[in-house]
Amino acid sequence: MNKKKESNTVEASKVTLSELMLASHTNFSGKIHGGYLLQLMDQIAFASASRYSGCYCVTASVDKVDFLNPIEIGELVTLKASVNYVGNTSMVVGIRVVSENIQTGVVKHCNSSYFTMVAKDESGKTTSVPHLILSDLQEVRRFFDALRRIEQNKKRIHQESSFDYTSKAALDLLKKYNVIIDLP
């Protein structure tokens, strides 16, 4: 059995995946199905986190997925992933998705997202991951950006759990939206 590393670099986590989009990948409007793209993103997040940690990894959460531009049949989709942040047992993997029209060479940014992956040992229990070595200012910025998103998510979860949606003020707030409140 290999000895587990105490630290690792962002570079060691980098993975690139390219795939030609086929008609079998489309949704009802003829564009590449978002669910298919999410599947590819989950695969590359797994590969990046597992390569970095040397462990089997599972997806714990996905932070905001914005579909920026549609992907067409026949375009070459390229996903690039790397570990941006590590905790004790988790890693945040940043993913960038671009598509290229291979006939014209036009490249579009289609998606960026962040997957939180958790390392597991042979018995399926969470296990520690190596310390992250940051080698340039872009890696430092990405680490700080991940920290900011983690803190924002903690605040959002706290606000959601403490919000009283049954109060008169909350129900009055709904009146400015396209809803009809018909409660007993």
Look at residue 1 and tell me whether its pLDDT is greater than 50: no
The torsion angles phi and psi of 10, rounded to 5 degrees, stand at -60, -40
Closest CA to 85 of 68, 66, 60, 109: 60
Question: Is residue 3 very low, low, confident or very high in pLDDT (cuts 50, 70, 90)?
Answer: low
Options 3.10.129.10, 3.40.50.720, 1.50.40.10, 3.30.413.10; CATH for 7-134 is: 3.10.129.10
Task: Retrieve residue 98's tokens.
Answer: 């671009």
Question: CA 98: distance to chain centroid?
Answer: 15
For 31-88, the pLDDT digits (tens) are 999 999 999 999 999 999 999 999 999 999 999 888 999 999 999 999 999 999 999 9
For 90-127, the pLDDT digits (tens) are 999 999 999 999 999 999 999 999 999 999 999 999 99
